Amino acid sequence: MTTSTTGTPAAAGATGTTATGGAALTPDDLPIRDELRGQSAYGAPQLDVPVRLNTNENPYPLPDALVARIAERVAEAARHLNRYPDRDAVELRGALAAYLTRTTGTPLRTEQVWAANGSNEVLQQLLQTFGGPGRTALGFEPSYSMHALISRGTGTRWIAGPRREDFSLDLAAARAAIAEHRPNVLFVCSPNNPTGSATDPADVLALHDAAQAAGPCLVVVDEAYVEFSHHPSLLPLLEGRPHLVVTRTMSKAFGAAGLRLGYLAADPAVVQAVQLVRLPYHLSSVTQATALAALEHTDTLLGYVARLKEERDRIVTELVEAGCEVVASDANFVQFGRFADSHATWRALLEHGVLVRDNGLPGWLRVTAGTPEENDAFLDALRAVLKDGDHLAAAGA
């Protein structure tokens, strides 16, 4: 798991004194589970600076027409808030299936789609169902740190598999790790976070087959950033593979990070299985109404995605011209380096009013593609930092 060296306390009151004047407790002073001791909560610092490019948010506010449509749908839902929401979110799941079918060319039915409060809850439900005490999850790090955190939170043993020096998958090493640990759940992140690189479909199939040979094993392909990719979705791989799952989110491409709506596509049996652990009426009527309104404006929102892809590619080009090493990106962010002291570089950029992400990966930082003006400010700040000091590491260091 990669952790940020620039995080904030996990909760207010994490330091100081108790109400009785004694030293404040920490979570480790309580009878928490052993696998949670010494762990840090997930999070990125939110600092009051002019340009914040550290959390992979879509920088474009929702268009006025969509805001108005959300207000209409929420008003309709509000008339019935005395009643529980649709427990199975059938209308929303049908709309999500239609979106995936239209944008990927892979026919999907309502019963193949499940939705929850952000893709993290989707991942949690999958691990509650297919992981848990006595079971193992495996992923290839550096990758999305919530895979490890949610695994531990569900009592699932976490195994960090290897990547190459350039952060690509070493297929031979990955197969060896699968054969050794025989995971119950296998995570493949494409595009990968924090590196931004996509995973070749042939590699995903090889990992899937290796996992089933050692398994059975649920293979979860995390496509949170796929709408920004140069490559097509891996959804077509679902056909004939009941142990394969693709997860998505509306936080990134739909510019709806505040909505908290994630979803998966899989065999209907997987959807039925996760319903065994979902909380009753887990998706509120307001959440369902808002998501349905956003799906009505898909074309407009994907137009913003097209702009961000152009900006992402521009950032890559200008970072290379500035002398940085850059990982090829298929996401709405770019990992760049290599720095002799990445945290010192992060702080220097902050002094120029630009906040990027320090994931604790030595030598590297990550920047989210923002508006053209925000990206200009970041690139100007980086060029100034590189000019003022010897931040870049020597080749091969």
- Can you spell out the DSSP letters for 174-202? HHHHHHHH--SEEEEESS-TTT-----HH
What is the chain's mean pLDDT, rounded? 92
Pairing of strands 354-355, 364-368: unpaired
Across the range 362-373, mean pLDDT stands at 97
Exposed e or buried b for every residue in 131-147, given b needs 16+ CB within 10 A?
bbeebbbbbbbbbbbbb
pLDDT at 18 over 60: no
Q: How confident is the model at residue 14 (pLDDT cuts 50, 70, 90)?
A: very low
Is the model's pLDDT at 130 over the cut of 90? yes
pLDDT digits 0-9 by tens, 165-184:
999 999 999 999 999 999 99
Other C-beta atoms lying within 10 Å of the C-beta of residue 240: 7
- Identity of residue 382: L
* Residue-level pLDDT at 35: 81
Q: What is the pLDDT of residues 27-84, one digit of tens each?
A: 999 998 888 888 878 766 678 899 999 999 999 999 999 999 999 999 999 999 999 9
List the one residue out of 123, 119, 116, 108 whose CA is nearest residue 268: 108
Domains and CATH numbers, the chain: 47-62+300-388 (3.90.1150.10), 64-296 (3.40.640.10)
Q: How many CB atoms lie within 10 A of CB 54?
A: 26
Q: Identify which of 392, 396, 390, 386 has the alpha carbon closest to the alpha carbon of residue 338.
A: 392
Strands across the sheet with 157-161, in order?
113-116, 262-265, 244-249, 218-222, 185-189, 136-140, 157-161
**Which residues lie below 8 Å from residue 321, measured CB to CB, with a gap of 6+?**
none
Q: Which residue has the higher pLDDT, 46 or 226?
A: 226
CB atoms within 10 A of CB 157: 18
pLDDT at residue 384 in the model: 97
Kind and range of the H or E run holding 161 = strand 157-161
Question: Cα–Cα distance between 202 and 181 in angstroms, integer?
Answer: 22
Q: Which residue in the block uniquely carries the two structure tokens 């439900």?
A: 125
* Edge-to-edge strands, sheet with 364-368: 325-326, 333-337, 364-368
The SS3 call for residue 392 is strand
Give the span between the Cα atoms of 315 and 332, in whole angstroms.
Answer: 10
pLDDT at position 46, please? 76
Write the single-letter amino acid at 97.
A
Q: How far apart are CA 382 and CA 346, in angstroms?
A: 10
Backbone phi and psi for residue 254, each to the nearest 5 degrees, phi listed first = -85, 0
Give the count of beta carbons closer than 10 Å to the beta carbon of residue 213: 13
For 234-289, write each residue's pLDDT tens digit. 999 999 999 999 999 999 999 999 999 999 999 999 999 999 999 999 999 999 99
CA geometry: angle at 122 spanning 185 and 206, to 5°?
35
Task: Give the torsion through C-alpha atoms of 81, 86, 90, 91, to 10 deg.
Answer: -10
End-to-end CA distance of the chain: 23
CA 308 to chain CA centroid, Å, is: 17
Tokens of 309: 């892809």
Tokens 């952790």 sit on residue:
3
The DSSP result for 217-284, as a single string, is: -EEEEE-TTGGG-SS--SGGGGTT-TTEEEEEESSSTTS-TTT--EEEE--HHHHHHHTTTSPTT-S-
Residue type, 384: A
Distances from the Cα of 232 to the Cα of 66, 105, 261, 320, angstroms:
27, 10, 22, 25
The confidence score (pLDDT) of residue 2 equals 39
Rounded to two decimals, the pTM is 0.91
